[in-house]
Amino acid sequence: MNVREEIIKKNKRRKQLIETAIVIGLVIVFAVILPVVLPGFRLRLLGRILALSIVALGIDLIWGYTGLLSLGHGIFFALGGYALAMHLKLQLPDGQLPEFFTLYGVKELPWFWYPFDSFPVTIIALIVIPGIAAGLLGYLVFRNRIKGVYFSIITQAALLVFFNFFNGQQKLINGTNGLKTDTETIFGILASSDSAQKTFYIITVIAVVVVYYFCRWLTSGRFGRLLIAIRDDETRVRFSGYDPTGYKVLVFAISGAIAGIAGALYTVQTGIITPKFMEVPFSIEMVIWVAVGGRATLIGAIIGTLLVRLAQTFLSESFPEVWLFFQGALFLIVVTVLPNGIVGWWRDFAWNKLSYVLGLRKRITTYASLEENPEVRQEREELEMRDR
Amino acid sequence: MSALIEGLFNGISIGSVLLIAALGLAIVFGLMGVINLAHGELMMLGAYTTYVVQNVFKPWGEPWFSFYILVAIPIAFMVAAIAGLVLERGVIRFLYGRPLETLLATWGVSLILRQLVRSVNWLLAICIAVFCLLFFGGMTWLSRHPDWERIRNWVIAILLPLSTAIAVVTGFLISKMPVLTKAWFSARNVDVTAPSWLRGGVKVLDFQMPYARLFIIVLTIICLIAVYWFLNRSTWGLKIRAVTQNRAMSSCLGIPTAKVDALTFAIGSGLAGVAGCAVSLLGSVGPNTGQNYIVDTFMVVVVGGVGNLFGTIFAGLGIGIVNYLIGSGTLALMLSYTESLKPLVDVLLFFATSSMAKVMVFALIIGFLQVKPAGLFPQKGRTAEL
Amino acid sequence: MSKILEIKNLTVSFDGFKALNDLNFSMESGELRVIIGPNGAGKTTFLDVITGKVQPTKGRVLFKGKNIKKNPEYKIARMGIGRKFQTPRVYLNLTVTENLDLVCNHNKNVFSTLFSRPKSGEIITVAGLLETIGLEAKANAQAALLSHGEKQRLEIGMLVAQSPDLLLVDEPAAGLTDEETENVGALLLSLAESHSIIAIEHDMEFVRQIANNKVTVLHQGSVLCEGTMDEVQNDPRVIEVYLGKAPSITQQQMNMLRIAASMAWADGNFEPEQIDVILSRLSREFATNVEHQDSLQKELQNYLAKNIPLEDLVPKLKSFGEKERVLKLSYEIISSNEINDREAVVYQKLLQLLDLPTEMVEQVEAEIDAQYK
């Protein structure tokens, strides 16, 4: 038994080492090599996609692990974006208002703009505000044990409501036109300048890694197992003495906060935030990134986002009409043919096939569950011994 | 007073559209636990069907043109029902027990339908027809093969790219003809002109009740009665109710649950088509028509609860009325005579636009769910949890 | 001993249908109580109320003297009530160890679950439990890969890991083989040494195995009767509920038959043919016609299967005539074959209890002796 445990530990350590090496390698590729190789606008595009992969991580947390499909992550994404955009808008000489206010005849800065004058407050706010919004919505829904499809369509309705609200309030937040960040400065540098964009890109890469490891930490311990338990059988969790509501609220809030970070990074690399970020199709699209990559695998969320978004860029550049057909088909195909996504398919099917072909593993002749059964394995070993 | 009646009337007429649309959704949700995100697009199909029927009737001139709407309603029902049937047989059937995935799949269908309406032309229609003929024809023909189960995956793997390629090549070959490439509807909105007898209105007190809206209310009542009769008086209705209550038991008793599912889905979709027909009378019709109604329709299902027609009726009319009363500012106006309610009036005035009213209604719905999480008429007993 | 669970005037109604109707129930701490009842008797609703899944319409549930009404499930679980479901419910995507570890966690708050690492005590508990439920070899296997019986054991293990004071077990023997059933029974009996247990069961064999104390019968939402297994099995109301009809003879007649039967049962073992002979003799005594005699004979096979002490039966005889009839029947049965020692002892006891005049006894005996010779 002890020997076996040691082997398991050793394997684990080796796996961790390999993984760290891969992550460091990827970070070098993305943060050092690509900025040199790619032209500025392509880099900006990549930065945007990486920012979106952060939301995908958040969605994976709430959907892949906890089993709650949120169709309203655009809210939290946009809240984060607005928070940072408001800060950029306020980089003005004293006493001056952002120019759009004068169009609507607003003389006084609305009260909620004031805190965003300070950079640290903005950074905290773009994480905390979406987190609180998500937590509050989650609390109101989860405490009544509303789940499944109901939860999904309520988040969708919430999304529409936020869209309507931001769209309708010209005097508070410039309504439909949104807030443009490209023409603003941050720390005295123009936000659309190459150096600023490169910095945003590097920050995005770092944020992806940090959020990824944060999600890893969340999902690996008891907490993560409890999330899976809630997904699989919430009633049992309750009868075991856990209150699922608290867990669900916390995960939803964290997921919202992650979306906020992503929204802020996406906004500065897009150059503008408008209520369009809260349109229904965009939020559902976020879910498909996770589905394509593979639910409940964090790396899948990132891979899925990269693949789908890159495909979208190339397809919609050349055939804008086909893209919607393609996207619709993607939803259908992933759900029916690849329910575990690319990573799931690789893990459950392709890797096995490949390792037989390469001769890394013996072909399983019976059922997998039977092969993995230690009792059966032992019996078989004994039989083989006797044969000799 | 007359403002209140006008508000109520307009609210009811908005609620009526929601109600027809939600009725289909609620029946399907009660039966299969599935929410169809493409429901709005089925409405849109109904609306476009009305448009097509109108255009067919136009050359025939007056006495005929007046009645096109009466022809359009059953045809819209049929078109949407057939689309729903295809959707159920082709996609949803494979996803039972996975409601969240169904949600995503139907969203995919909704995207495809929207783009289809935008870009459909003879070319695309011919390509699709060729593909269907080759692929499904081939599948049916080969399914008689004794080894069907074994070769099935291979057949799909070969047939799918083959028929796609042939369809695409056909498309390229005939794409030179300009008649074929002209879009049927294009992305622009189209207008349905109401027949003359639905224009104008009747004057009640000092406001106008448009005939079109009255017509929609009557249509809703007829649909309700028909659905009620169908569910409670017909054999298939009995079967639907049985499967809703206990799927496994019904199946054991020899009720063909797959057929019941398909039928219910088709009827639910057909109702969406009728709703689309009604919507086309209220304004212009575009590829995104369905999207404007769909979230409100979902809220009707959430508030109404499952398995009770009356829940849907109350919720639909309630949401419609509250939405209108707040959105049009009627409520704020009525309360403004009472001085003590000043702060409340201010709040109501803030929300007195049609988009801000949705914010308020959503807040009210969330509040309502705190009291009654399972809707107006929740199911009770041991099976309720399942 | 204190009461661990007390239920007073409990009513649960779903849209007017009363799943539980004015139910009263109480249970000592340390008891193993089996609850039986036909389908729809309200057994599962009963557990639902105790665990907080269903709120009572009326009445109170006291656990260790505290009212648990209005508490959510998780709080009740933390108070010390554990529940096992009818079909095993374990977390299929977690390994066996992870399943146990989750339940074992002492502090189930969100943040302590997030930040604290498993304590060494908990790790030891989990290891011990793995051994108890016999799943050491599969400790790292996904629960989805376990067989039905293994899942059943894992769930019981999870229940114990929760260290509850009261265990609620819903049909633990459902879907198990005979051997597995016996194992689960033994496991329950050993758990009963340190826990109070309520078990719901259909399988009468299994109930007989585990019911060492009291059995409660539920019917149409209220307690029909309560007592030892033997008492319950012979209660005509229970028989009626389970077999669908009341015995076709009166209670008094049944009582007489029981006494006579206990004569036959006295020597412990006899051939099936002998049972038939005795039963047909007894049924002839009370049957109204030939057909009734046949059906009665079948009925008696069910009713007279259990041995109730004479001391309980005899005092129920009311008149002198009844006593005489009992005497006749009993003597007839024992003299149908050679009277052995044990039969003689029981017969003497009966005579003592009947307390009839000696000359009358002699006369009856003489009459029957004459008949048989």
Q: Residue range B135-164: average pLDDT?
A: 82
Where are chain C's structural domains? 3-228, 247-372
Judge whether residue C1 has pLDDT over 60: no
CA distance B381 to chain C (A): 6
Q: How confident is the model at residue B265 (pLDDT cuts 50, 70, 90)?
A: very high
Which residues contact residue B206 at a Cβ distance below 8 angstroms, ignoring those fewer than 6 apart? Answer: B2
Q: How far apart are CA B302 and CA B377, in angstroms?
A: 11
Contacts of B231 (CB under 8 A, 6+ apart): B27, B237, B240, B241, B309
Give B319 to chain C, closest Cα distance, Å: 27
Buried b (16+ CB within 10 A) or exposed e, B77-111: bebbbebbbebbeebbeebeeebbbbbbbbbbbbb
In this predicted structure, which of B17-21, C91-95, C211-215, C288-292 has the lowest mean pLDDT? C288-292
Determine, for residues B355 and A328 on separate chains, whether the beta-carbon distance falls below 8 Å: no
Residues contacting residue C339 through CB under 8 Å, at least 6 positions apart: C347
Percentage with pLDDT > 90 across chain A: 40
CB C173 within 8 A of CB C181: yes
Query: How far apart (Å, rounded) are the C-alpha atoms in residues B24 and B43?
Result: 11
Distance from the B107 Cα atom to the nearest Cα atom in chain C, whole angstroms: 28
User: What CATH architecture applies to the domain C247-372?
Assistant: Orthogonal Bundle (1.10)
Average pLDDT over chain C reads 80
Strands C196-200 and C32-36: parallel
pLDDT tens column, B115-131: 888 888 888 888 888 88
> Residue A36 has what pLDDT?
83
- Under an 8 A CB cutoff, do A241 and C110 touch? no
* Furthest C-alpha separation in chain B: 83
With a cut of 80, say whether residue C288 has pLDDT above it. Answer: no
Q: What are phi and psi of C135, to 5 degrees?
A: -120, 25
pTM > 0.80: yes or no: yes
More confident position, B90 or C202: B90
Greatest mean pLDDT among B173-177, B323-327, C207-211, C293-297:
B323-327
Higher pLDDT, B83 or B305: B83
For residues A207-219, one letter each, b for 16 or more C-beta atoms within 10 angstroms of the residue's C-beta and e for the rest, the string is: bbbebbeebeebb
- What number is the ipTM of this complex? 0.87
Mean of pLDDT values over A157-173? 88
Whole-angstrom distance, CA of residue B125 vs CA of residue A136 = 48
- Predicted confidence (pLDDT) at residue A347 exceeds the cutoff of 80: yes
Residue A350 DSSP one-character state: I
Facing B91 at nearest CB: one of A63, A321, A332: A332
According to DSSP, the residues that pair with C5 across neighbouring strands are: C27, C63
Distances (CA, A) of C154 to A47, A67, A222, A342: 48, 24, 18, 33
Give the mean model confidence (pLDDT) for residues C192-200: 87
Confidence band, pLDDT 50/70/90 cuts, at residue A52: very high
Outline where A29-98 has alpha helix (H). Answer: 34-37, 40-59, 73-89
Residues of C in contact with A231 (CB under 8 A): 93
Q: Which residues numbered 18-37 in A keep a CB inside 8 Å of some CB on B?
A: none
List CB contacts (< 8 A) between C110 and chain A. Answer: 246-247, 250
CA neighbor of C25 nearest in space, from C17, C70, C72, C42: C42
Quick: pLDDT tens for A64-79.
Answer: 999 999 999 999 999 9
> Which chain B positions have a beta carbon within 8 Å of C19's beta carbon?
381-382
Query: B284 CA to chain C: closest CA distance, Å?
Result: 46
- A228 contacts in chain C (CB < 8 Å): 91, 93-94
Pair B167, B131: CB distance under 8 Å: yes
Helix (H) / strand (E) containing C36: strand C32-36
* Interatomic CA distance for residues A212 and A206, integer angstroms: 10
Provide the shortest C-alpha distance from residue B197 to chain A (in Å): 36
Contact B376/A at CB under 8 A:
no
Give residues 157 to 186 of C whose Cβ lies within 8 Å of B: none
What would the pLDDT profile of B273-306 be if each residue is shown by its tens digit?
Answer: 999 998 888 888 888 888 888 888 999 988 888 7
Task: Spell out which residues of chain C touch residue B382, defining contact as CB-CB under 8 Å.
Answer: 14, 19, 44-45, 48
* Pairing relationship of beta strands A189-190 and B207-210 according to DSSP bridges: unpaired
Would you state the structure tokens that stand for residue B227, as one six-digit string?
């659905």
Other C-beta atoms closer than 10 Å to the C-beta of B204 total 12
> CB–CB of A161 and B353 under 8 A?
no
Which of C74, C91, C141 has the CB atom closest to A241's CB atom?
A: C74
- Mean local confidence (pLDDT), A39-59: 91
With CB atoms and an 8 Å threshold, state whether C103 touches A240: yes
Residue C28: which H helix or E strand, with range? strand C17-28
Section A271-280 average pLDDT: 91
Chains in touch with C (≥3 Cβ pairs < 8 A): A, B
> What is the structure's pLDDT at C308?
66
Contact B358 A154 (CB under 8 A): no
What does the pLDDT read at residue A221?
85
- Is A222 in contact with C118 (Cβ distance < 8 A)? yes
> How near does any CA of chain A get to the CA of B361, in Å?
9
Protein fold of C3-228: Rossmann fold (3.40.50)
Give the pLDDT confidence score for residue C268 in this predicted structure: 60
A319 and chain B in contact, CB less than 8 A: no
Residue B386 pLDDT: 37
The CA radius of gyration of chain C, in Å to the nearest whole number, is 26
Which residues make beta-bridge pairs with C18? Answer: C13
Out of A167, A291, A327, name the one closest to residue B355 (CB): A167
Strand ranges for chain B from DSSP E = 201-204, 207-210
pLDDT at A55: 95
Q: Is the pLDDT of residue A365 over 70?
A: no
Closest CA to A238 of B335, B140, A246: A246
Per the prediction, chain A carries an average pLDDT of 87
How far apart are the C-alpha atoms of A255 and A77, rounded to whole Å? 10
pLDDT at residue A308, rounded to an integer: 92
Nearest CB to C137; choose among A247, A369, A375: A375
Mutation choice for A interface testing from C113, C115, C131, C154 by most A CBs within 10 A: C113
| Closest to B223 in 3D by CA, of B293, B295, B283, B272 | B272
In chain B, the residue whose alpha carbon lies closest to the alpha carbon of C12 is: B381
Q: What is the pLDDT of residues C44-85, one digit of tens each?
A: 888 888 888 888 888 888 888 888 878 888 888 888 888 888
What pLDDT, on a 0 to 100 scale, did the predictor assign at position C18? Answer: 81
* Six token digits for residue C332: 């007839």
Cα separation, A266 vs A289, whole angstroms: 16
Residue B307 has pLDDT above 70, yes or no: no
Nearest CA in chain B to C17: B381
The contact set of A with C (CB < 8 A) is 218, 221-223, 225-226, 228-229, 231-233, 235-236, 238-244, 246-247, 250, 369, 372-375
Alpha-carbon span B299 to C301, nearest angstrom: 62
**Chain C residues inside the 8 Å CB shell of B383:** none
The residue of chain C with its CA nearest to that of A251 is C110
Contact B15, B329 (CB under 8 A): no
Over residues C236-261, the pLDDT tens digits come to 777 777 765 556 667 677 777 777 77
Whether the per-residue pLDDT at B169 is higher than 70: the answer is yes
Reply yes or no on whether the pLDDT at A238 is more than 50: yes
Residue B215 predicted with pLDDT over 80: yes
In contact, C215 and C34? CB cutoff 8 Å: yes
Q: Are C148 and C175 in contact (CB under 8 A)?
A: yes
Residue C189 predicted with pLDDT over 90: no
pLDDT for res A168: 84
pLDDT (tens digit per residue) in B7-39: 888 888 888 988 988 998 888 888 888 888 999
Check pLDDT > 70 for residue A361. no
Mean pLDDT for A312-325 is 82
Residue of chain A whose alpha carbon sits nearest to that of C88: A236
User: Model confidence over A94-134: pLDDT tens digits?
Assistant: 777 888 888 888 888 888 888 888 899 999 999 999 999 99
Residue with tokens 């359009």, as numbered in its chain: B72
A-C C-beta contacts closer than 8 Å: 87
Contact yes or no for C53 and B380 at CB 8 A: no
C90 to chain A: which residues are within 8 Å by CB? 233, 236
Our CA-based measurement puts residue C118 at a distance from the nearest CA of chain A, in whole angstroms, of 8
Q: Is C284 on the interface with A (CB under 8 A)?
A: no
Name the token pair of B314. Answer: 């109350």
Q: How confident is the model at residue A81 (pLDDT cuts 50, 70, 90)?
A: very high
Contact across the interface for C114 and A225, Cβ inside 8 Å: no
Across the interface, of A221, A238, A372, the residue whose CB is closest to C73 is: A238
Q: Whats the size of chain B, residue-wise? A: 386
